[in-house]
Each structure stands twice: as C-alpha cells, then as structure tokens.
C-alpha cells in the first residue's frame, strides 16, 4: 500500500540544495570491487571508451595497469596526464598532478585507486581528497576502489583476513558518489586469472593465493562488497521514495551516541556505531568525556582520542567533547539534553575486582539510564596501565616522597617512645595515625601504604610491650594495622582525586579566561572588519605560536595585511592559504592537506562564507600538539570570524542607512532645485525680458528697479547654488579641514565684508575682546558657517533690527554669539532648524533650508557645538562654541 | 599712456565674453578675444596686450599653462577669473605670476577696479615712477620717511608691522598671497607660518582701521591672502 505524503519542506530544501550543488559539481562514478584483480580498472577504461565515442573529452589522470596487458591495450587513444615527480627522502615518487588536471578541465578524468596515499608534499594526504576537489571543480571522475578500503568495514576485514589495511576512504564518498558499479567476478574465475598470471606476476601469484586470496577470504570480501552495494541501492531507493513522497514506514526518531575513549578499541566501536546508525537511519553523535585524569595522559593517548574523533566525524558523526569527572553522569546528562535514544560504548574487560573497586561506566549507565538504551560492545582488554602515567616525574617524586614518609614515621616513633610510659598503646596508635594521614594528604597511595606498614612496624616494635621486639602478643594489633592502612589509602585516594579535580578546574578556568580575553579583545577592536593585532597576540602568547592574518581583496585573492600578525607567511604558501580560503577547510602543518607546509592555515569561517585565513607557525615542535589546544584554536577562529562577520553586517546596515538618508537628501535636493532655483530664475528672466521688450515705455527709475531686481535675485541664486554645492561636499564625506591658526576677529571681519550690503541697513555691533586666543580652524568653512547664520539673521530681522556679534572664552574654547532681533523661534523649532530643507515658518521663505544644516556640519567637523535659542528680549541667538588647542603657536617678536 | 590700453580676453564661454566685451567697450578699452588656451598664448605673444583676463577652466588646457607660457616672455598683468571654492587654484595662479583674481560671479565694479589697479601698477613699474607716499582713505603712508598717519595722527609701527604694511603698499590694490607676504617679511624659511601673518595683520588693523572687525583697507581674501585697497 503506497500512501502519498506531503514531503517535509526542510528535507525538500535540503534536497534542492543538494541537487543545486550537483549541478555545478562533477559526477563521481566508482568502480567497486571485492578484491584486486576483479577487473575494475579494465571496466573503467571500457566505460571511458564509450564516453569518448559519445564525444566526451576524456583524460587519464592515473591508471595503474600493474603490467596487465589487457588493461594496457585499453589505454590506447586516451590523453594521459604526465605524473608529477616528487622527491621524498631520496626516493622519486610519481604522483597524480592535481593542479594540471584542474587546469585542463577535461569532461571526464580517470583516477585509479581511490584509497591511495599521496607523497607528503602533495596538497592532500589522500587521493580521495584530490578526487573530491576535482568533483567540486565540476569535473566528472571515474575511479576504482576495493571493499577493504572502506573505513567502516576496515576492522571487520582485518578480523577476517588478518591483514590490516592502512589506506582507507570515508564511507561518505561511496554514499555520495553519483554512480557505483560493482565489478563482480566469481571466485573460481578470479583464482583462474591469478593462476594465469593476469593479476600478479607468477612468483607473486603463488604467495597471494596462499594468503590474501584464500577462498574463505574472497567469499567474505565478495559478500561484504555485495552487501555494501545493496545498502547503497537501498539508500537510493529511500531517496527516490523521499523525492516522491512515498513513505513506507514511519521513521523512528532514533539518535545514537557513541562514547569514545582513549582505548585503541574506540575506532572499532565507532565503526560499529556507524553501522548501527546506518541501519537505524539515525543521526549519531560521538562523545568524548574529558576527565582530569585524561588530561594527564600521555600525548599518544590523547592523539588516539583525537584520531578516533576524526574517524567519527569522517564517518558522519557529530562530535562533541564534554568536560566532567564522572563519565557516566556526564554522558547521561548530555544524552538526555540531545534526546539520544541509545548509547553505544565498549564493555570494560579488565579484572573483576578492578571493575568493582573503580566502578564500571557500563554498570553505572545501566543503573541510571532510564529510557535510554545502553549497548555495550565487547572489545579487547584495555591496557591502560601504560597509558595513564602515575605522575609527571615518578622518579623524583618517589625519592622526595619516601624521605618525607620516613621522616614522618620517625617523628611519630620518637614522640611515641617519649609518651609510651604516660599513655596506653591504644592512644599511641593515634599519633601514628596522624602521621599516616599527613603522608596520605600530601603524597600518593604508594607512600601512604609505605607509611602504614612502617607505622605498624614501629608501633609494634617500640610501643607494644614487650618493647623492642616484633612479637605481637595480641591479635587486636592486626586490626590496628588494617585500620591504619585503610584510613591511609582512603585519604590519599580522596585527596588525589580532589587535587585532580582542582587542577582540571584551574585548567578549565584558564581556558575560559583565555577565551574571555580573546572575545574581549575582539570586542575592543576598532576595526573589527579586519581585526587588528591585539586578539592575535593573545593567541600567540597562549599557544606559543606566531600568527598572521590573510584577508581577501575584491577579487577574493587572499594576501597578508602588512601590519597584521607576528610573522610573514611565506610567499610560497600563499597558494595554500588561498586553497584554505576557497574551500573553508584547514590545511598545512598537522593536517591531512598539504602537511608539508611550514605553517598551519585555518579558515576564519563565518556563517555565510570564509572571511580570511589565520596562518599559525608553531614556535616549538611541541606547540599545538594537544587536541584541547587544537579545539580551542578552532573556537578562537570561529569567534573571530563571527566578530568580523558581525562588523561587516553592521557596516552594511550603516551603508543601507546612509543610502536611505542620501535618498532623502536627493529628494530634498530635487525639490530645492525645482522650486527654489526656479523662483529667482523666473524673476531674472521676467525682469530681463521686460527691460528688452518694454524699454521705450519704462522710465529710468523703473528700469533701474528691474535691474536691481535682477541683481538681487542673481545674488540669491548664487547663495543657493553655493549652499547646494557645499552640502553635497559635506554629505559626500569629502569635507577635509585645512586648519590654520587664525584670530576669530579676522573670520568675523571677512564674513561681514562678504555679506556686503545684504545686512544693511541693520546696525551690526561687534564685540570681540582683543586678547582672545587663536582658533585652529578651516578659515573658509568657518567663514561659510558665519555667513549662513548672518544670512539667516538678515532674512528674519526687520530693517531696523540690530544684529549683535560677541565672543568670550569658555570651557577651554571660544564662544561666539550672534543675536538678531527677528521673531525668534516657535516653541520646539530650535531643534528642527538644523534639519536639511527645513524652512522657518516666520521667514521670507527664500532659502532652501540648507544654510543652518551646513553650519552645524561645519561646527561639528571642528568638534565644536552650535545651539539656537530665543533671546529673553525677543529675537534669536545662535551660540557657536569652538575648542581652542591649549598649546598656542609661538609668534616671534610678538609684543 | 598714449594709447587706450589693449586687453586680451581668454575665455571659452560666449556669454561671459559678450558681457566682458560690453563692459570693456563702455569703459573705452580695446579688447581681443581668444576661446582656448592655445589661441590665448598665440595672441598674447603676437599682440603684446596691456592686460590679460584669463579664465582658469579652458577646454584645451589648464589656464595655469597659459600663465606659465606668457610669463616666459612678458610681464603683462594677468587677472584670473575663477569660481569660488577654488582657492588652491587661485593661490597657484598667483604664485605662478598672475597679478590678481576675480571670483565668479563678479560685478562690473569689482572687475573694473582690479583692471584699473593692475594697469596702474604696470604703468608705474614701466615708467619707473615708484612713489613713496600712499593714501588710503584717512591713512597716509610715507615709505621713505617710514611714517604712518591715521587722520593726521602719527601711528607707531614695529619693524615687522612696517615691513608687512610696506609689502602690501607696494602691491596696493592687488592681492598678495600668504606665502609671498611671509617670504617678504619673515624670510623663505618661514613661508608656512601662516599664524605669524594672522597675528601681525590683526595688530596692524587695530592700529590703522577704525573698526578692526569690519576692516575697510586691510582686507582678507580667505584662503588666498591679503589686499590693501586704495579706493
């Protein structure tokens, strides 16, 4: 029964995205086989021939013929890409030339042996990474791989064949490939081919038949290959069903979580979990609980955890590192927060007493898991004794510890001998117990054990009658011994654990503090778009590395900003940085990609795109080795990228706001141009034409009146144009102050002269003290500001009204007041007058409403203030305050 | 001056040329017209005019090039016509050897005053009749006796104030750039110390002008320099 459903919109979107990607990406076809010799390369070449006949441009990237004549004959007629010769420790290796292939952009490229490991100086460590890059670049790829190279089947195959395959590929490649063609060959046929020498040379063939190519092995491998292909077909079927909204069964909302530990067995555990998750069609999480004990583990152990986590993420898991002391409780808390339905973990197989003594994580989980299912998988015994070092420098500590223990016991003994006549032996035991406690608190379990034995011996010898013998007459002293021993061990275990917890708290605190400082530095950054030096200095200090920031230019080409970073990324590695920027993946030292580089390149990846590249060069070989450091560094990078992205967004928002304002400005300008400019023009044209046409009818005074009219309107037009030009200049941000030292008097004087007759006949009174300090201003702009205010005053002040200009020093600056005797402002108008295109209600309405806005811009550009108010006796006051630099210039011979 | 002076107009705008033509004709001055820099330079060399009115924005070349070319061979006074807001261009033109400027838009009165001042100055230089006594309104300046009287009252000037006034008097009616004044009065090493000039000019105004905040004779040309008017 097929019931149509409406497809889930999210899934639909996901698929659309996937298909869109498919559009620009190339198609990957994998020729998949159970073992070498089944004819994958042969099949691939045959398929390529068909393509070539269909007109596709085919390029042979890498094809390994292994000297097989049949295969070699098929190579004829193809263009073959020359291999890149690489010197590696005196050995010449011929590798696939990825860059040449990318440059040629063939329609189809053949790249044999997908699981191949590249020479160290190649861009990628693995060939499958090369192939993915080709596909990303839109090139179709044919490739071959055997089932034993699949990551998730790796350990199963190792168990079956006894051969551990080191060259693996992530399962996701197989899952995401466009096509898979299973090249199947019956086992007898394969054997026949091997015997005929078609697969290996005769002497190798015999050896091969006896080891890897044993019938049993081949049957198992063939079954695995068939099953894996069937799984994929099923996935395709699911995808088809999804596309057509066919749902045969309700999906179970399962979510798996696998607990990753430092044991080598973890990799196997992860692969099992992956298979389980696939079967359940469930998302899965790989979680690692970082305890304080783990932090003391050897680097190899931590490396193993990192490797396991990487495997998990390559197999498609979400990876998470949790901090906590109690593994079971931490796992359960996280599991319930993420709605995990099943937890997969390894069964501890150590001795029973140890499990009872320490408590097993599995048992603890089983006891507290509630609804969550627990799946324990048996593994190999964990040989953790080697992995967990007892202390940092056991030798030194043991020596000093033993001396402390001996001294303590000796002190207790001397004290007891002194007191043994006054006290009961039962009480003397307390003295020894005190000593054992002291040792237990300060030292480890070995030392408290030693202290207990020594104490009991000393107690027995010196304090139990008969003195100075080891004869224990009473069994109760055995109890004494046991009590002392137990107390000592318990206390040392407890204090040890506390100490570790305190240490880990301190460490976590340090990490948090570092992150806080970094985020703080990011927040303080004045140009977060490109991020200055400060945040990266914190990184340099904390990790003992040198850093450099590479940012893209308009063409998306990354270059190092001259002043950013503590070292210069080598020219030769700019290509790596570019690759990192383009692909959003890290590369360089310590990674799988271009690991031969001198520095590590991490992308600064924001939510939308990569914003830059952080280059990191370790100062010493042990910098950046711990997984925690690498993790922290990734956190730093993403924080920095987010901050840069936020700054970009803010900038864009500001630009948008500016654009909106400019738009408003423009419409204001339009109205100014259309109305305010046309009015004087109309007067001029009218007056001029009447002078011309009616010359004979007009008497001299009338003619003069018209001429005066033309003159005045032309002046008004000139003022308007001037203001329009000025505001455009100011708004465009090109206002640049040409500051000079100048007396205020001079500016007032030249502006009054420029106003000319416009102020007449209004009396203008100027009161400027002689001893004012010099201003440091742009003369022309400030004159413009004054003219605009005087112009305003002349328009609003009646013909007989006075204008008063005065100045005084105030607040480390000069206050200039211009008072008119016009009508003043309506209530609330004082604030509005500064707006562009605002025109006072009481005025003659001849301005474009720009003068005062310009005035305000000019004063603000000088860091001054301007305000308007009504005068108590009527009229308006404009007050301009301009700062005066405290250091006045020196004038020679100045009296 | 036996003949009426000949003026060369170098201006590409037809309407402005027409207005200048009318104005000059009304003043009984002779004129020639050039509409490009090349033509201007050619006519200046061929006709040897008494004065050149030069627009800075010409279609084929910068007006400054015309000044350079003319100054190679002659000291003909050049008055530059330029728009407001081009103070830097004006200063360059003046430093290259132009005599004065008029800002567009300008009135006839202003233009004729500049032309008269320039012609008068070039005539005095040509005739070698350098005067020693100048009169500007109520101010009488005797350069030889080094005495200054304002409304008959003798005013005492410091040596620097006197040198500054002397420089302006010798260029009476004409704008002198800040740089030129600084070099004349304080020497070439102080050519950038504009504040010296500002302070001394303020002092000079206080001693000579009736209302120093509204000067009548010692005028500021903002962004360019100073001018002593004699009319």
Domains delineated in chain B: 6-127 (3.40.50.2300), 133-228 (1.10.10.10)
A759 contact B CB<8A = no
Cα distance between residue A856 and residue A864, in whole Å: 9
**In this structure, what token pair is assigned to residue B16?**
């402005």
What are the beta bridge partners of residue B57?
Answer: B62
Nearest CA in chain B to A775: B195
Burial (CB count <10 Å: 0-12, 13-18, 19+), residue A777: buried
| pLDDT score for A809 | 92
Is residue A840 predicted with pLDDT exceeding 70? no
Q: Which long-range CB contacts under 8 A does A604-608 form with residues at least 24 apart?
A: A604/A637, A604/A638, A604/A640, A604/A641, A604/A644, A605/A637, A605/A638, A605/A641, A606/A641, A606/A642, A606/A644, A606/A645, A607/A642, A607/A645, A608/A645
Cα distance between residue A11 and residue B109, in whole Å: 83
What are the beta bridge partners of residue A375?
Answer: A344
Q: Which CATH class is domain A9-243?
A: alpha beta
CB atoms within 10 A of CB A472: 14
Q: Which CATH class is domain A525-652?
A: alpha beta
Regarding the domain delimited by A256-378, which CATH topology (the fold level of the hierarchy) does it fall under?
Rossmann fold (3.40.50)
B196 contact A CB<8A = yes
Cα distance between residue B221 and residue B206, in whole Å: 18
Q: What are the tens digits of pLDDT across the range A370-379?
A: 778 888 887 6
Q: What are the tens digits of pLDDT across the range A472-500?
A: 666 767 777 788 778 878 887 788 778 77
Percent pLDDT > 70 in chain B is: 96
- The more confidently predicted of residues A622 and A542 is A542
**In this structure, what token pair is assigned to residue A890?**
């020196």
CATH 3.30.565.10 given to domain A735-883: yes
End-to-end CA distance of chain B: 21
Cα distance between residue B141 and residue B148, in whole Å: 5
Is residue A242 predicted with pLDDT exceeding 60? no
Chain B: nearest CA to A776, how far in angstroms?
Answer: 10
Is residue A250 predicted with pLDDT exceeding 50? no
ipTM: 0.83
- The two beta strands, A610-618 and A545-552, are antiparallel
Q: Name the 3-class secondary structure at A625.
A: coil
If you average pLDDT over every residue of chain B, what do you get? 88
Note which residues in 242-281 of chain A have CB less than 8 A from chain B. none
Percent composition of chain A: helix, strand, coil (DSSP 3-state, to 5):
50, 15, 30
Cα distance between residue A55 and residue A53, in whole Å: 5
Q: What are the tens digits of pLDDT across the range A153-169?
A: 877 787 777 777 778 88
Residues B80 and B71: beta-carbon distance below 8 Å: no
Cα distance between residue A845 and residue A829, in whole Å: 15
Q: Name the 3-class secondary structure at A188.
A: helix
Does B214 sit within 8 Å of A764, measured CB to CB? Answer: yes
Within 8 A of B186 by CB-CB distance, chain A residues are 892
B156 contact A CB<8A = no
Considering only CB atoms, B198 lies closest to which of A774, A892, A895, namely A774
Does B199 sit within 8 Å of A743, measured CB to CB? Answer: yes
- The two beta strands, B218-221 and B225-228, are antiparallel
Cα distance between residue A872 and residue A879, in whole Å: 15
| pLDDT score for A403 | 87
Is residue A237 predicted with pLDDT exceeding 70? no
DSSP A847-889: S-S-HHHHHHHHHHHTT-EEEEEE-TTSSEEEEEEEE--SSPP
Does A752 sit within 8 Å of B213, measured CB to CB? Answer: yes
With a CB cutoff of 8 Å and minimum separation 6, the contacts of A689 are none
| pLDDT score for B163 | 92
Within 8 A of B220 by CB-CB distance, chain A residues are 746, 749-750, 753
Q: What are the tens digits of pLDDT across the range A172-231?
A: 888 778 888 888 888 888 888 877 777 766 666 666 667 777 777 888 888 888 888 877
- The two beta strands, A373-378 and A342-347, are parallel
| pLDDT score for A776 | 92
End-to-end CA distance of chain A: 109
Q: What are the tens digits of pLDDT across the range A769-828?
A: 988 999 999 888 899 889 888 888 888 888 888 899 999 999 889 999 999 888 888 777
Note which residues in 88-147 of chain B have CB less than 8 A from chain A. 105
Give the ranges where chain B is alpha helix by DSSP (H).
14-26, 37-47, 63-73, 87-96, 108-127, 159-170, 178-186, 194-208
Dihedrals phi, psi of A184, to nearest 5 degrees: -110, 140
Considering only CB atoms, B195 lies closest to which of A738, A741, A748, namely A741
Confirm whether A9-243 and A525-652 share one CATH topology: no
Q: What are the tens digits of pLDDT across the range B135-161?
A: 888 889 888 888 899 988 999 999 999
Residues A857 and A735: beta-carbon distance below 8 Å: yes
Band of residue A243 on the pLDDT scale cut at 50, 70, 90: low
Considering only CB atoms, B195 lies closest to which of A722, A780, A891, namely A891
Is residue A895 predicted with pLDDT exceeding 70? no
| pLDDT score for A247 | 43
Residues A803 and A821: beta-carbon distance below 8 Å: yes
Is residue A171 predicted with pLDDT exceeding 70? yes
| pLDDT score for A239 | 63
Percent pLDDT > 90 in chain A is: 7
Closest CA to A842 of A822, A862, A821, A813: A822
- Least-confidence region, from A14-18, A570-574, B191-195: A14-18
Q: What are the tens digits of pLDDT across the range A284-315?
A: 888 888 776 776 677 677 777 877 887 787 77
If you average pLDDT over every residue of chain A, what do you get? 79
B214 contact A CB<8A = yes
- The more confidently predicted of residues A244 and B169 is B169
Does B196 sit within 8 Å of A891, measured CB to CB? Answer: yes
Nearest CA in chain A to B216: A753
Does A750 sit within 8 Å of B220, measured CB to CB? Answer: yes
| pLDDT score for A249 | 41
Band of residue A1 on the pLDDT scale cut at 50, 70, 90: very low
Q: Highest-confidence range of A503-512, A534-543, A734-743, B156-165, by mean pLDDT?
A: B156-165
DSSP B193-212: -HHHHHHHHHHHHHHH-SST
- Least-confidence region, from A116-130, A368-382, B42-56: A368-382
Give the torsion sign (CA, B207, B213, B218, B222): positive
Within 8 A of B213 by CB-CB distance, chain A residues are 745, 748-749, 752, 766, 768, 805
Domain spans of chain A, in order of start: 9-243, 256-378, 394-501, 525-652, 735-883
B77 contact A CB<8A = no
Q: Across residues A422-436, what is the average pLDDT?
A: 82
């Amino acid at each position: 029964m097929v019931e149509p459903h409406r497809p889930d919109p999210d899934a639909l979107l996901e698929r659309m995205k996937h298909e869109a990607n498919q559009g620009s990406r190339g198609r990957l076809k994998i020729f998949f086989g159970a073992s070498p010799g089944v004819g994958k390369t042969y099949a691939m070449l045959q398929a390529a021939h068909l393509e070539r006949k269909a007109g596709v441009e085919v390029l042979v990237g890498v094809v390994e013929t292994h000297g097989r004549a049949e295969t070699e004959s098929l190579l004829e007629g193809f263009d073959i890409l020359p291999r890149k010769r690489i010197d590696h420790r005196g050995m010449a290796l011929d590798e696939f030339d990825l860059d040449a292939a990318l440059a040629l952009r063939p329609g189809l490229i053949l790249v044999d042996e997908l699981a191949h490991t590249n020479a160290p100086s190649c861009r990628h460590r693995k060939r499958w990474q090369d192939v993915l890059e080709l596909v990303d670049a839109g090139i179709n790829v044919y490739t071959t791989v055997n089932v034993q190279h699949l990551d998730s089947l790796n350990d199963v195959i190792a168990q079956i064949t006894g051969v551990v395959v080191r060259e693996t590929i992530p399962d996701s490649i197989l899952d995401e490939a466009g096509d898979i063609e299973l090249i199947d060959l019956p086992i007898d046929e394969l054997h026949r081919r091997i015997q005929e020498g078609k697969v290996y040379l005769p002497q190798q063939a015999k050896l091969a038949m006896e080891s890897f190519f044993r019938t049993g092995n081949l049957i198992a491998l063939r079954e695995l290959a068939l099953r894996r292909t069937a799984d994929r077909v099923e996935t395709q079927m699911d995808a088809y069903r999804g596309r057509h909204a066919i749902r045969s069964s309700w999906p179970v909302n399962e979510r798996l979580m696998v607990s990753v530990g430092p044991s080598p067995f973890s990799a196997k555990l992860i692969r099992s979990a992956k298979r389980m998750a696939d079967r359940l069609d469930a998302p899965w999480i790989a979680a690692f609980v970082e305890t304080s004990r783990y932090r003391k583990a050897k680097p190899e152990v931590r490396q193993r955890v990192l490797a396991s986590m990487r495997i998990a993420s390559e197999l498609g898991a979400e990876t998470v590192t949790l901090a906590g002391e109690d593994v079971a409780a931490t796992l359960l808390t996280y599991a319930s927060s993420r709605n995990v339905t099943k937890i997969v973990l390894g069964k501890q197989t150590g001795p029973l007493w140890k499990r009872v003594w320490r408590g097993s994580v599995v048992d603890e989980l089983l006891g507290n898991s509630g609804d969550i299912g627990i799946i324990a998988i048996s593994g190999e015994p964990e040989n953790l004794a080697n992995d967990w070092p007892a202390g940092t420098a056991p030798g030194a500590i043991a020596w000093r510890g033993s001396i402390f223990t001996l001294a303590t016991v000796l002190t207790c003994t001397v004290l007891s001998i002194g007191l043994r006549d006054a006290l009961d032996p039962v009480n003397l035991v307390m003295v020894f117990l005190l000593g054992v406690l002291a040792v237990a608190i300060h030292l480890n379990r070995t030392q408290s054990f030693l202290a207990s034995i020594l104490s009991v011996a000393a107690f027995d010898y010196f304090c139990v009658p008969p003195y100075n013998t080891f004869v224990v007459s009473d069994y109760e002293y055995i109890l004494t011994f046991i009590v002392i021993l137990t107390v000592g061990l318990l206390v040392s275990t407890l204090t040890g654990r506390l100490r570790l917890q305190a240490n880990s708290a301190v460490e976590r605190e340090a990490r948090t503090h570092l992150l806080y400082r970094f985020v703080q530095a990011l927040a303080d950054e004045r140009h977060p778009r490109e991020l200055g030096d400060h945040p990266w200095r914190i990184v340099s200090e904390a990790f003992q590395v040198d850093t450099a920031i590479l940012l893209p230019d308009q063409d998306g080409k990354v270059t190092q900003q001259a002043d950013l970073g503590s070292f210069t990324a080598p020219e030769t590695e700019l290509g790596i940085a570019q690759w990192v920027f383009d692909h959003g993946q890290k590369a360089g030292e310590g990674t799988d990609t271009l690991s031969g580089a001198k520095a590590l390149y991490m992308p600064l990846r924001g939510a939308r795109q990569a914003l830059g590249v952080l280059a990191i060069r370790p100062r010493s070989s042990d910098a950046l080795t711990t997984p925690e450091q690498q993790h922290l560094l990734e956190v730093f990078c993403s924080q920095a990228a987010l901050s840069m992205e936020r700054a970009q967004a803010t900038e864009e928002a500001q630009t948008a706001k500016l654009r909106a304002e400019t738009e408003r400005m423009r419409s204001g300008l339009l109205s100014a141009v259309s109305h305010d400019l046309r009015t004087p023009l109309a007067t001029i044209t009218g007056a001029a034409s009447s002078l011309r046409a009616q010359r004979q009818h007009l008497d001299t005074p009338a003619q003069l009146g018209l001429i005066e009219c033309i003159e005045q309107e032309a002046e008004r037009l000139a003022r308007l144009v001037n203001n329009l030009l000025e505001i455009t200049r100011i708004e465009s941000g090109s206002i640049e102050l040409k500051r000079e030292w100048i007396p205020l008097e001079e500016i007032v004087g030249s502006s009054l002269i420029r106003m000319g007759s416009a102020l007449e006949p209004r009396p203008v009174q100027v009161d400027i003290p002689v001893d004012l300090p010099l201003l440091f201003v742009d003369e022309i702009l400030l004159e413009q500001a004054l003219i605009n205010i005087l112009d305003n005053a002349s328009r609003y002040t009646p013909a007989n009204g006075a204008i008063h200009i005065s100045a005084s020093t105030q607040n480390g600056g000069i206050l200039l007041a211009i008072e008119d005797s016009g009508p003043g402002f309506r209530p609330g108008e004082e604030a509005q007058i500064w707006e562009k295109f605002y025109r006072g209600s009481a005025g003659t309405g001849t301005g474009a409403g720009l003068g005062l806005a310009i005035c305000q811009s000019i004063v603000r550009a000088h860091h001054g203030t301007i305000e308007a108010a009504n005068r108590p006796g009527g009229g308006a006051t404009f007050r301009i305050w301009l700062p005066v630099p405290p250091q006045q210039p020196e004038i020679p011979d100045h009296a | 001056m036996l003949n009426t002076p000949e003026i060369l107009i170098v201006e590409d705008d037809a309407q402005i040329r027409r207005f200048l033509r009318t104005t000059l004709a009304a003043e009984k001055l002779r004129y020639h017209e050039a509409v490009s820099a090349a033509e201007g330079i050619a006519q200046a060399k061929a006709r040897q005019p008494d004065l050149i009115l030069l627009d800075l924005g010409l279609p084929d070349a910068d007006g400054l090039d015309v000044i350079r070319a003319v100054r190679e061979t002659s000291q003909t006074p050049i008055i530059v016509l330029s728009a407001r807001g081009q103070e830097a261009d004006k200063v360059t033109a003046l430093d290259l050897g132009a005599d004065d400027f008029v800002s567009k838009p300008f009135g006839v009165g202003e233009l004729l005053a500049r032309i008269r001042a320039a012609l008068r100055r070039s005539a005095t230089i040509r005739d070698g009749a350098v005067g020693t006594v100048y009169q500007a309104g109520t101010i009488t300046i005797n350069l030889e006796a080094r005495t200054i009287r304002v409304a008959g009252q003798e005013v005492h000037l410091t040596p620097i104030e006197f040198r500054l006034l002397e420089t302006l008097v010798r260029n009476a009616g004409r704008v002198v750039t800040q740089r030129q004044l600084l070099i004349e009065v304080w020497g070439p090493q102080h050519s950038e110390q504009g504040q010296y000039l500002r302070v001394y000019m303020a002092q000079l105004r206080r001693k000579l002008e009736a209302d120093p905040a509204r000067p009548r004779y010692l005028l500021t040309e903002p962004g360019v320099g100073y001018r002593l008017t004699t009319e």
